[in-house]
Amino acid sequence: MLENVQVLYEEEELQARIAELAKQIDEDYKGKTVTVISVLKGAIFFTVDLVKKMKTPIELEVMQVSSYEGTESTQKINIKKDLDHSLEGKDVLIVEDIIDTGHTLNYLKEYLMTKHPKSLKLAVLADKKERREVDVKIDYTGFVIPNKFVIGYGFDYNEIGRNLPYIGYIETP
């Protein structure tokens, strides 16, 4: 399967775009501390590179939310790992690897708003706009991508391929 991966974004392109996003986030959160919530497992690569490039002080949280089986979204959202600390009165940035239908991020945003953050913004590495079913405001977008099944740089196919240093795609049957 990995031998059929077509490269979409090379590692250098990823890092350059992430640096631009970090600069934009720093400008928006100037003088503040931001609670960054990395959505496991896929967003961890993006989150680490993003926060390393940011100058803004951060608190790091992780959540694990799932809606996929294989290559298809089930639209049934399952929180596998919740927050460790309160978000009340905090500026929060959700960092996610991808948005396609929008169901997961919409659910997650609504769920986190019940925790009474001061503000809540969304950063996604890859936006598959043509698959959108639910309108979700994305504050920081890395790349708008075609409707392909992506792999690498955190994206996986049944848990394989996350460690590829680039984003590629595979044609699904």
From the list 91, 97, 100, 127, the catalytic residue is: 100
Has 100 been annotated as catalytic? yes
Q: What one-character-per-residue DSSP string does the chain give?
A: -GGGPEEEE-HHHHHHHHHHHHHHHHHHTTT--EEEEEEETTTHHHHHHHHHH--S-EEEEEEEEEEEETTEEEEEEEEEE--SS--TT-EEEEEEEEESSSHHHHHHHHHHHTT--SEEEEEEEEE-GGG--S----SEEEEE--SSEEEBTTB-BTTBSTT-SSEEEE---
- Catalytic (active-site) positions: 100
